[in-house]
A and B are shown apart, each in its own frame.
Chain A
């Protein structure tokens, strides 16, 4: 019995040692460098009383062996870093992994049949379509919670985080790269008329109670209000503060201004609340990719730009085939990959990636309409959110995607 155990343990140990060596290409690199310098030294001294030819040959052979094992270890992309590694990883995997929470109606949630649904999920499909030409079985959603976002980004096991991530400088530095802003929210306030809080009067918040989503940037923003206006109020942090506020748990609620109106309509007595005109601050939302791979960052942004430009050029899911065949507009032809190339190849994309994305997912407006339209009949799971700031730059909004060339 002990003998068998010894055998088992020693074989396990050998296995571990192998795994350890193969996973550590850094050490291999130093070994190779070492041998290289030996070789160089040997060659430079070859004319004099240096090592013999046999010695040289042996070092050469060692070097070749080390390089061979090194490249073998490097093939499985153990350490993706820098340009191109993420795309390579995704293609090898055959799947794009996106992270999202499953608690945002309209944005990322799970429908009755257990499928991920929402704006964020459609975006994940769009990225997958751009890379693979289709999204069926090409993307995978990973459920996370809001508070896990930095650790998930640090661990680097996901490709894109498709969430209503508020962009700010600190997060840009420590979490990863924010891609194109898709929603320009303002932090707004709604307050109860039966409380001491008066609309647009910051001082009146003193001594009141605030309901706010836990783990979001609204919490530190509310914290800042206290210092800014020299007031103090109590904060109640909840996963979904809406119902609690409705029941009188708090005097006021902070959320994206665009959503406050629809919340108000849902409350038991919509007339008992007032949405402030004043804004607390900026709340730009974007998707997130990890630091360190510019190709990946650009690729994700290319997909987003294509969708926004498609809206601008009136290219839709329905007319995109027609556009490919008949459009005389050079901008459209170029965007859809009918003629010319504007950098897709450098990013590892097909020239007609934009066609695929629009054919399968639609342009930006179609996507937004799917989850935030005013029409209760066609809307899926979400709620009405007016485009307001999210309208195109030439229609009075802030949405602006760069042109192709």
Chain B
């Protein structure tokens, strides 16, 4: 569900000099210093022990085959088995680009990249112990960490900057989409309709394409809302306010269930596209509000100075106001990207097979795993966590860099 990233107050006294203490001294200071702190420590430790006592037996006895035998559905959904090499090859640029970004942006992207590398390495290692994972999949997870490192090495070079990374990312994304979609029936890569795409693949693709679409759309909407042309202003306000008030779930139902009534019978709407549109509609409204905040933060003096220099109105907006506004709102923009990624999970409720939808289909549809729901949902939650945690660390890095003013 969309979770608003309402400007969270920033801690102002983060950079405190650390005092050096011995272990006993540290324990004395951090665990037992006033008497009630000892009580709190005891309560905390008991809580941890209780949690572990429940969790460890569960993790050991769990029916993990529910996940491992269905790993293909969870990762790529119903993508035809004989065409799986296309998925593997199509998403290979992604780890490389992650590495590139790491090389270019440095510390900001470090946690994100390292998290992904570690997860890939762990997956590759785990494939050694079970025979359920196909060799192609194991190969992919073995190769991808090296691609990240390769990207990192390239990204450190001078000839590549943030702008180049963004362009490469966008081009490769388009390429991946074409690769997955395929061409004619008889070609080497037959057409695979989007209703056979699924699992983690769809989650990641929707998030990436969504990010590429939502930001420009949000900028246009924010400018329209600020403009003094009554129609554009009114339309933008209506768009933003209606879509911000409506839960994404309701919007998804509207797009997938109700909107076909507005189309002629001969059309067969692409359901994944409809869901994507719903996510974009919802997130662009929030994005527009984030950017509007940035636009308002640009001082009037700048605008007046530019006008005094004889710049045209549209020029002032595009060259003077917008870059500053976007720079001021980068944390909010990254926050919105995280929300967009998490939002993709809701499409499972309208019958689409994203990561969560695949889990749902396994538990309810496959008779053998009717009671394996904790395992499957735990796996799904862990996968979401890996990606979102990485993105959150990027967001934290951006905020830190903006606070310290190094940019």
B353 at the A interface (CB under 8 A) = yes
Closest chain B residue to A80 by CB distance? B265
The interface residues of chain A lying within 8 Å CB-to-CB of B77 are 114
Decide yes or no whether A256 CB sits under 8 A from chain B.
Answer: no
Which one of A187-195, A197-205, A237-245, A356-364 is at the B interface?
A237-245
Instruction: Check B365 for interface membership: any CB of A closer than 8 A.
Output: yes
Q: How far, in Å, is B366 (CB) from chain A's closest CB?
A: 6
What are the interface flags for B330-357 relative to A under an 8 Å C-beta threshold, 1 for contact and 0 otherwise?
A: 0000000000000000000111110000
Question: A77 at interface (Cβ–Cβ under 8 A)?
Answer: yes
Residue A286 at the B interface, CB < 8 A? no
Which residue of the partner chain, among B78, B353, B364, contacts A240 with CB atoms under 8 Å? B364
Contact of A93 among B196, B268, B365 (CB under 8 A): B268
Dominant SS among interface residues on chain A: loop
Q: Across the two chains, which residue of chain A brings its CB closest to B363? A: A240
| A53-61, A98-106, A228-236, A338-346 - interface stretch | A98-106
Residues of A within 8 A of B157 (CB): none
**Would A113 and B81 count as touching, CB distance under 8 A?**
yes
Contact across chains for A148 and B366 when beta carbons are under 8 A apart: no
* B314: interface (CB < 8 Å): yes
B193 at the interface (CB under 8 A from A): yes
**Residue from A1, A103, A116 having most chain B Cβ neighbours under 10 A:** A103
- Whether the Cβ atoms of B257 and A151 lie closer than 8 Å is yes
- Interchain CB contact under 8 A, B265 and A115: no
Task: Convert A70-112 into 0s and 1s, putting 1 for each residue whose CB lies closer than 8 angstroms to a CB of B.
Answer: 0000001111100000000100010001000111111011111
Chain B residues contacting A114 (CB-CB under 8 Å) are 72-73, 76-81, 196, 198
Is B61 in the interface zone, CB < 8 Å from A? no
Min distance, Cβ A245 to any Cβ of chain B, angstroms:
12
For B79, the closest partner residue in chain A by CB is A114
Interface positions, chain A 137-152, Cβ under 8 Å from B, are 137, 140-145, 148, 151-152
Assess the B314–A1 pair: CB atoms within 8 A. yes
Complex: how many Å from CA A105 to CA B369? 10
Nearest B-chain residue to A155, judged by Cβ = B260
- Taking the complex as formed, is B70 at the interface, i.e. its CB lies under 8 A from any CB of chain A? yes
Q: Is A295 an interface residue (CB 8 A)?
A: no
Q: Mark B175-186, 1 if CB is under 8 A from A, else 0.
A: 000000000010
Report the count of interface residues on A (CB-CB < 8 A): 47
- Chain B nearest CB, measured from A239 CB (Å): 6
| Nearest chain B CB to A169 CB, angstrom units | 24
- CB neighbours (8 Å) of B353 from chain A are 102, 110, 143
Give the most central of B76, B196, B364: most A CB within 10 Å. B364
A142 CA to B260 CA in the complex, in Å? 14
A77–B171 CA distance with the chains assembled, in angstroms: 38
Alpha-carbon distance A196/B76, docked complex (angstroms): 48
* Residues of chain A lying within 8 A (CB to CB) of residue B72: 112-114
How many angstroms from the CA of A80 to the CA of B268 in the assembled complex?
14
B267 within 8 A of A: yes
10 nearest interchain CB pairs?
A109-B365, A103-B364, A155-B260, A105-B367, A114-B78, A143-B351, A102-B361, A151-B257, A157-B260, A110-B361
Q: In the complex the two chains form, what is the Cα distance from A320 to B371 in whole Å?
A: 42
**Nearest CB to that of B199 among chain A residues?**
A114
A103 contacts B260, CB within 8 Å? no
> Does A157 lie within 8 Å of B265, measured CB to CB?
yes
A38 surroundings in chain B (CB, below 8 A): none
Contact mask B362-383 → A, CB, 8 Å, 1/0? 1111110011000000000000
A103, B361: Cβ atoms under 8 Å? Answer: yes
Report the bound CA distance from A185 to B77 in whole Å: 33
Q: Are A148 and B69 in contact (CB under 8 A)?
A: no
Q: Which residue of A lies closest to B71 (CB)?
A: A112
A80-B265, A114-B72 known; A381-B367 Cβ under 8 A? yes
Near A by CB (< 8 A), chain B positions 201-257 give 257
Chain A residues near B351 (CB, 8 Å)?
101-102, 143-145, 148
Residues of B in contact (CB 8 Å), total: 44
* Complex Cα gap A140–B268 (Å): 11
Q: Does A382 contact B (CB under 8 A)?
A: yes
CB B311 to nearest CB in A, in angstroms, measures 13
Which residues does chain A contribute within 8 Å of B367, judged by CB atoms?
105-106, 381-383
Q: Does A156 contact B (CB under 8 A)?
A: yes
Complex interface bits, A1-45 against B, C-beta within 8 A gives 1, otherwise 0:
110000000000000000000010000000000000000000000
The reply on B264 being an interface residue by CB < 8 A is yes
Compute how far the CA of A55 lies from the CA of B401 in the bound complex, rounded to whole angstroms: 80
The answer for the CA separation of A2 and B317 in the assembled complex, in Å, is 14
Q: Let me know if A102 and B193 touch, CB within 8 A.
A: no
Which residues of the partner chain B approach A157 to less than 8 Å between Cβ atoms?
A: 260, 263, 265, 267-269
Contact B257 A156 (CB under 8 A): no
| Contact present for B266 and A80 (CB under 8 Å) | yes
Closest A residue, CB atoms, query B76: A114
Residues in B whose Cβ lies below 8 Å from that of A97? 268
A52 contacts which chain B residues (CB < 8 A)? Answer: none
B78, B79, B261: residue with the most chain A Cβ atoms closer than 10 Å: B78
Nearest-Cβ distance from residue A118 to partner chain B, whole angstroms: 8
Known: A105-B366, A113-B81, A242-B370. A89 touches B73 (CB 8 A): no
Report Cα–Cα, A143/B264, bound state, in Å.
Answer: 21
Indicate whether A378 reaches chain B with its CB closer than 8 angstroms. no
B249: shortest Cβ distance to chain A, in Å?
13
Q: Which residues of B contact A148 (CB under 8 A)?
A: 257, 351
A268 to chain B, nearest CB (A): 10
Say whether B265 contacts A143, CB under 8 Å: no
- A151 contact set on B, CB distance < 8 A: 257-258, 261
Q: Is B86 an interface residue (CB 8 A)?
A: no
Is A319's CB within 8 Å of the partner chain B? no
The residue in A23, A77, A155 that gathers the most chain B C-beta atoms within 10 A of its C-beta is: A155
Assess whether B110 is interfacial by the CB under 8 Å rule: no
Q: Which of B69, B80, B352, B370 contacts A143 (CB 8 A)?
A: B352
Q: Is B32 an interface residue (CB 8 A)?
A: no
In the complex, which residues of chain B have a beta carbon less than 8 angstroms from the beta carbon of A174? none
Smallest Cβ-Cβ distance to A85: which chain B residue = B265
Residue of B nearest to A154 (CB): B261
> Which chain B positions have C-beta within 8 A of A108?
365
Shortest Cβ distance from A118 into B: residue? B365
Asked if A78 and B366 make an inter-chain contact with CB atoms under 8 angstroms apart, the answer reads: no
| B304 within 8 A of partner (CB) | no
Question: Is there contact, CB below 8 Å, between A145 and B371?
Answer: no
Q: Is B4 an interface residue (CB 8 A)?
A: no
Say if the beta carbon of B271 comes within 8 Å of chain A: yes
Residues of A within 8 A of B258 (CB): 151
Closest to A106 in B: B367
A5 to chain B: closest residue by CB: B314
- Closest Cβ of chain A to B386, distance in Å, is 22
Residues from chain B with Cβ under 8 Å of A383 in the complex: 367
Apart from A97-B268, A151-B261, what are 7 other A-B pairs with CB-CB below 8 Å? A80-B265, A104-B364, A155-B261, A156-B260, A157-B267, A240-B370, A381-B366
CB-contacts of A207-253 with B (<8 A): 239-240, 242-243
A242 CA / B351 CA spacing, docked (Å)? 21
B193: chain A residues at CB < 8 Å are: 140
Chain A nearest CB from B359 CB (Å) reads 11
Partner of A79, one of B260, B265, B352, B371: B265
Q: Given A1-B314, A78-B264, A105-B366, do A142 and B78 touch, yes or no (CB 8 Å)?
A: no
Complex CA distance for A93 and B268, rounded to whole angstroms: 10
